[in-house]
Amino acid sequence: MSALPPGSTIGILGGGQLGRMMAMSAAQLGYRCHVYAPEGDNVAADVSARFTSARWHDTEALIAFAHDCDVITYEFENVPVAPLLKLPQELLAPGPRALEVAQDRVKEKRFVEDAGGRPAPYVAVDHDNELAGAVERIGVPGILKTRRDGYDGKGQWAIDSGADAQGIRIPETGCVYEAKLAFECEFSVILVRGRDGEVRFWDSTRNRHDKGILAHCELPAPAIVGEQLEQARGLAAKVAEALGYIGVLTLEFFATKDGPVFNEMAPRVHNSGHWTIEGAVTSQFENHVRAICGLPLGDTRSVSDTMVMDNLIGRQALDLATHLADGRAHVHLYGKSEARAGRKMGHVTWVG
């Protein structure tokens, strides 16, 4: 397709903070955004030209939404795929195949293995009576994860002994049991792929999690990340090519003594890339807009050798004056109405 001119409408499926920051970047380039999401705290709607609140499976509402859009993208990887297949496929960027793969942890791991990647040892667990055998086969410690819908540490159970597996009920959608690996640090590879197949990467931060939620990113990352970056980027590029991907794609890794181990992928802009708003020449949000609209990609280089980003979780976000007391802090609050425990309310970035 030719580049979409300013004034065109970008449809965003999902109404959270990723859609909010994407819409703000789109507006800077002269685009309108139309957000589609079910009822909820849809903060992306606050900064968009139009908002449709309807269920994912409301085919009539979804088709009407698509008629108003020149391109449609996602800020949420758990958008059901089936309703999207009823829309003109040329509107969707990236295509729904990326969602289909990323929504099922077993399918995702197998897809990455086919591309030459290495996840932690794992086995699918579809029924209650299969869990004990999975633990025996993979060993302990391990982690049991739901195959679908888990994020930010939700839908996960640590299993440190066979006794921990007793009494766990496997949901209808199944689970995956995987080994808990020894690793030096976690990092992510964030790329953008244009409609012409060009791929660019941002620097990879060291990522720290608290109770399964990303809490902290920093540059420079430890030396081991730099040593494993070429291999990890090569895998990410292969995954993007295999999916025919358009836009920003993220793969998360464990840096181990035996090389990078794939953890999971996100077919969208990613929390570990929020620092790029101030810390890179072109942010992940702007480059995602550029890619899906058929525009030239922006420079992904970091503007400084050092950078720190902290997520504001729960009530941490409420005291804005305290965060702004440091004149170097770039504060982003997402406009969410309720500061619940474990909820991402904003982030703060320091560059240099």
**For range 228-233, the mean pLDDT:** 98
**What radius of gyration do the chain's Cα atoms show?**
20
Residue 179 scores a pLDDT above 60: yes
Based on the domain organization, do 219 and 292 belong to the same domain? yes
Mean pLDDT confidence for 72-82 = 95
Q: Domain of 155: which CATH number?
A: 3.30.1490.20
Q: Give backbone dihedrals phi and psi of 224, rounded to 5 degrees, phi first.
A: -60, -30
Task: Report the predicted TM-score, pTM, of the whole model to 2 decimal places.
Answer: 0.96
pLDDT at position 167 is 78
Chain centre to alpha carbon of residue 24: 18
Q: How many CB atoms lie within 10 A of CB 166?
A: 10
Percent of the chain with pLDDT over 70: 99
* C-alpha to C-alpha distance for 235 and 88, rounded to whole angstroms: 30
**pLDDT tens across 305-350, in order?**
999 999 999 987 778 899 999 999 999 999 998 888 889 999 999 9
The rounded distance, in Å, linking the Cα atoms of 322 and 320 is: 5
Distances (CA, A) of 285 to 100, 269, 270: 22, 7, 9
Is the pLDDT at 288 greater than 70, yes or no? yes
Q: Read off the CATH number of the domain in which 35 is found.
A: 3.40.50.20
Say whether both 54 and 164 belong to one domain: no
What confidence score (pLDDT) does residue 149 get? 80
Same domain, 84 and 225: no
State the pLDDT at residue 289.
Answer: 98
Q: What does the pLDDT read at residue 316?
A: 76
Residue 171 and residue 86 share a domain: no
Sign of CA dihedral 71, 77, 79, 80: positive
pLDDT surpassing 70 at residue 92: yes
Q: Are residues 35 and 52 in contact, defined by beta-carbon separation less than 8 angstroms?
A: yes
Instruction: Provide CB contacts within 8 A for 134, sequence distance 6+.
Output: 123, 125, 177
Q: Indicate if 241 and 295 belong to the same structural domain.
A: yes
In this structure, are residues 85 and 72 in contact, taking their beta carbons and an 8 Å threshold?
no
The Cα-based distances of 123 to 58, 105, 174 in angstroms read 35, 11, 11
pLDDT at residue number 166: 81
Q: How many CA atoms lie within 13 A of 122 on its CB side?
A: 26
pLDDT for the residue 150: 65
Q: Is residue 198 part of a domain?
A: yes
Q: Is the dihedral of CA 265, 149, 74, 218 positive or negative?
A: negative
At 193-217, the pLDDT tens digits run: 999 999 999 999 999 999 889 999 9
Q: Which residues pair with 96 in a beta bridge?
A: none
Mean pLDDT throughout 260-274?
A: 97
> Are 64 and 212 part of one and the same domain?
no
Coil, helix or strand for 349?
Answer: strand
Q: Which of 163, 179, 195 is the last residue of a domain?
A: 179
Q: Kindly state whether residue 214 falls inside one of the protein's structural domains.
A: yes
Please tell me what DSSP assigns to residue 2: P
Q: Is 97 part of any domain? A: no
Could you tell me if 30 and 45 lie in one domain? yes
Residue 164: other Cβ atoms inside 10 A: 16
Neighbours of 79 (CB within 10 A): 19
CB atoms near residue 178 (< 10 Å):
21
Query: Quick one: DSSP state of residue 313?
Result: E
CATH code assigned at 346: 3.30.470.20
- pLDDT 10s digits, 311-323: 999 987 778 899 9
Among 154, 179, 204, the domain-final residue is 179
C-beta of residue 53 within 8 angstroms of C-beta of residue 42? yes
261 plus 283 within the same structural domain? yes
What is residue 318's predicted lDDT score, i.e. its pLDDT?
74
pLDDT at 165: 79
pLDDT digits (tens, 9 = 90+) for 7-18: 999 999 999 999
The secondary element (H helix, E strand) that includes residue 74 is strand 71-74
Give the residue numbers spanning the domain of 150: 121-179
In a domain, 134, yes or no: yes
pLDDT band at 243; cut points 50, 70, 90: very high
Phi and psi, residue 156, nearest 5°? -135, 145
102 located within any domain: no
* Residue-level pLDDT at 319: 83
Instruction: Please give the residue that has the higher pLDDT: either 3 or 164.
Output: 3
Quote the mean pLDDT of the chain. 95
Residues 169 and 310 in one domain: no
The verdict on 195 and 327 lying in the same domain is: yes
pLDDT by residue (tens digit) across 123-172? 999 998 999 999 999 999 999 999 998 665 567 889 988 788 787 899 99
Number of domains in the chain: 3
Q: Are residues 234 and 325 in the same domain?
A: yes
DSSP letter (8 states) at residue 92 = B
196: three-class secondary structure by DSSP:
coil
In a domain, 338, yes or no: yes
Q: Are the C-beta atoms of residues 67 and 87 closer than 8 Å to each other?
A: no
Q: So what's the pLDDT on residue 168?
A: 87
Residue 151, pLDDT score: 64
Site of tokens 């480059």: 287
